[in-house]
A and B are shown apart, each in its own frame.
Chain A
Amino acid sequence: MTIAPKQPFVFSQRHLLGIEGLTREDITGLLDLSEEFVELNRQVEKKRASLRGRTQINLFFEVSTRTQASFELAGKRLGADVMNMSASSSSMRKGETLMDTAITLNAMHPDIIVVRHHASGAVELLARKVDCSVINAGDGAHEHPTQALLDALTIRRNKGGLEGLTVAICGDILHSRVARSNIILLNCMGARVRVVAPSTLLPPGIERFGVEVARDMRAGLAGADVVMMLRLQRERMNGSYVPSVSEYFQYYGLDEKKLSFAKPDALVMHPGPMNRGVEIDSIVADGPRSVIREQVEMGVAVRMAVLEALSRNLPNA
């Protein structure tokens, strides 16, 4: 009797522009593939050759340290030639438009372009003008799909699955692409999602996203398996959306007292970079329930999985 070999995962997309539009199978497939890379990344020999000969361009119109580093490492570990372009050095500063940049880069025959941009929809716009695969590394307040995937991987590894969990996403939902991607992914995978924020930081119509909405942390965190904190940008702290840092921390900052409303084994997560003492207390951020550092580790593995999955769909793969 022969055992049929496991079918290799085939991703349904040519690009990864968002979590919206992915199937449950896509998400599960990417997470399963990521697990292999978690193991690989913990070994001395971390190199694979699956992207050998491929060119990956990281095009970052918005400054980012960790996401860009994570994508760079992911590409290199898979054997790709990785080139980094960021806003400070690129011709964007000389007035070249996004579209011209896209057309120029496309002429260099890259296989995968990873894009971060401050405007919602910019990555999709660019994807329409190039022949290669495009990965959204965050566009405006729209989506940040690899963040949602790495969050899901972190939760799954700690909780054994996503189905039936209660996940509280807290803070600046209004401006957050991380929140949007997470809401879509977690809903798709059968988790219960709550958003917790002052009303000025809740986007209009959010209740129609299949989430519960809470305006205070006690109600929002009650019975939560996962507490996901979001970064509050400095320019939104002082009187524009919330009156002050101290008032925000008082009502929405995650400290030990507020965390006690959640389940005793609740995970604490943050996409980083953290504002300690604004949305999260150091004691909690560095505490036993925090998986914030693990999220960073999972980030590399997830990005390797995404690169690998997309490269299988490239022509001549």
Chain B
Amino acid sequence: MPSTTNPFIRVVNGMNGLPQRPLAQTPMTFRQKLYRKRMAALTVTMHQVLEQVGALLEPGETLVNMLPMTNEANSAAATDGLMGMYGVKTEQARDYVTTQASLRGNRLMVFTDRRIIFFIVIEFLDDSQAYYSYPYSALDWVMLRADPAPGAAGQAMINPYTLDFETADRHVFTEFLTPENAQMFKENLLRIPAMANIRLSDHVHRRRRWDQFASNLDFQLAFASKGFWLLLVFFILVAIWGYLAH
């Protein structure tokens, strides 16, 4: 669900041509005006971002749509870095930090008719080469799995999706998607011809067996949750054995 303070998802969804919920006809409150100002400033930033993306496109390559991700809606695991710190380098990135009060949280997955371009907005503003490019031809398998998670009391289950893939040159990408993100990804699988040969799966695929464990966040998280309890049971048994032995 979009944040009430971070307008990134709403701005990008607007650019994608997605309608938003109808606005009230009452005058804007102080908080709404503040949010509006952030939206306006972010729109200016996104134009700069899109100019930089435009410079990356090959002749004839076209942009299809953009999938916005934020720490609030998705996950901070992949982007917050060491204590969530990042040192800005350029004036436009400094303005972005000041206006949006956001460091590494906003990231964008851009779908063209040939590839996925992924970057963290603030890093990309500072350095137009700070992005990852995943041609569809380099993707054999994509894991797009819904992991039902309990919602708040009285609410329906929420289904955060895990997206994972490895490219032909062994770059691994893992991200947690909201249901809206996942629906956009699914629609792109249908609408973008170059994605037609990508196979869908509910588990991680790696080209090397070792990477199935070492480069598999899905496995590591599962091990951390189940493995923790196994270790706990083990130590309890050891403690009981030690007590009985003495």
Partners in one complex: no
